[in-house]
Chains A and B, each alone.
Chain A
């Protein structure tokens, strides 16, 4: 018997092929949950939904209308919603002084306003016992350079999670965030392909490897299950990285510069 038997789950941010959201959605389904997958690209979502026997909903998290209509569609179809996880994100890297107003607004819409409104809608529609999970980041605890807008919005949502958990605990709604470090995924593939980059990160992980999406899926199953008495927490699932640090900007820039020089030759 699966760990999430009888549960209905919404995994938002599952439209990228083999991204963290897809890995989590497959895992939730394996654990017995009925799973709705949401995101911006319906073709990819529908094919995932077909694969796991779930449903696909269109939802751009920056749109309150999309959030509302997707949650309504899921509850219409499943009859209820017990678990919701937001895996959307945008790994913008830009020097602090060069962060454009346009990028900053986009980041705040995607990683602060969106998750905030996602939780607003969810607490109104979910019934106890319910679990809401935000995918945060180890960088909200230990910095990485040129990532300020990303880190600030992730840390901001971690604190909103604390407050909302406090307010809605008595209604049986738990909220937590989970923090991976740098994760093997299609999104980080290019970054990790820069010679030296992977090693620069790996050496900082006490357990000797960077994250996989499976690490986060396993933790999410735990956070989602009824046996979990945690709420308002930020769970570090990053092989001990937050006991140490991330590589410095100077280190990372040296690898990028070397790669650029090699390409120029």
Chain B
């Protein structure tokens, strides 16, 4: 998982000399998959991390495994009151300088397979949850200190598939929300940047399980692989590393972008 750390240079690690105290990052959906990878990368890079999720057991266990500078907090991203509860606590005692809106749900379903309840539930988490995450981050961050928001959108938000109807639409909304939020923060003089990452298909336990559960796993694997010009699906640490770049001083002049980390899938 943390193979990439062997290559990390000082520039990409938290510059302790220029920061009074440790930077705190909140990552939603941090108990598993990409969120877990991002949280681990940030933690290894010197951040204090608040792992937020609704999978309490897995979240607590990851926090315990990371040890110092890590803790878990229950957070349903669709619930505004829960956002206030988490962020008032974090911002009250630490310097919240990064929010990664990663929590998301998906379904492989075409327009005809997507009923209203499914549409609304995917939008509630993937779009409304990120809207709340951006809005609450701005409310609780110290606007005079360099901070950033990273939204995990998807390559599917730029190029939909027939079978990703609601999912792609929610991710397209996140890309647009990211631009608007970045402009607003800049225009208000807040030192908060906002960017989106657009991962392609990534080797998460969830994806690997769904491939394994398919009646033709090899065919399914080939299908996903074939969507990426580089001839493979992505690794969790590759998304985590992109998030680390966007959060770091190295990207201090980058705001409002939708960065594909997709092995060329959106070409």
Enumerate chain A interface residues (CB-CB to B < 8 A). 1-5, 31-32, 162-163, 165-167, 169-170, 172, 174, 206-209, 211-212, 215, 218-219, 221-222, 225-233, 235-240, 242-244
Contacts and interface: CB of A to CB of B under 8 A. Distances in A.
Given A170-B229, A170-B231, A211-B253, A231 B259 contact: no
Given A206-B183, A240-B186, 4 more contacts: A167-B229, A207-B255, A222-B242, A227-B4
B106 interface: no
Contacts of A235: 257, 259
B7 A237 contact: no
Nearest to B263: A229
A227 B237 contact: yes
Is the interface on chain B under 10, 10 to 19, 20 to 34, or 35 or more residues?
35 or more
Contact of B11 (A5, A209, A218, A230): A218
A239 B251 CA distance: 9
B262 interface: yes
A228 to B, nearest CB: 7
B259 A218 contact: no
B256 A206 contact: yes
Contact of A169 (B187, B189, B235, B264): B264
A208 B245 contact: no
B239 A219 contact: no
B254 A206 contact: no
A169 B232 CA distance: 9
B254 A166 contact: no
Contacts of A231: 229-230, 263-264, 267
Given A240-B183, A243-B256, A165 B264 contact: yes
Nearest to A235: B259
A229 B256 contact: no
Contacts of A242: 256
B230 A240 contact: no
A15 B167 CA distance: 49
A219 B7 contact: no
Contacts of A174: 230
Given A231-B230, A233-B259, A237-B254, A206 B7 contact: no
A152 B193 CA distance: 30
B27 interface: no
Interface in B1-39: 4, 6-9, 11-12
Top 7 nearest A-B pairs (CB, nearest first) are A206-B186, A169-B229, A3-B9, A169-B230, A229-B238, A218-B250, A170-B231
A174 B259 CA distance: 15
B267 A238 contact: no
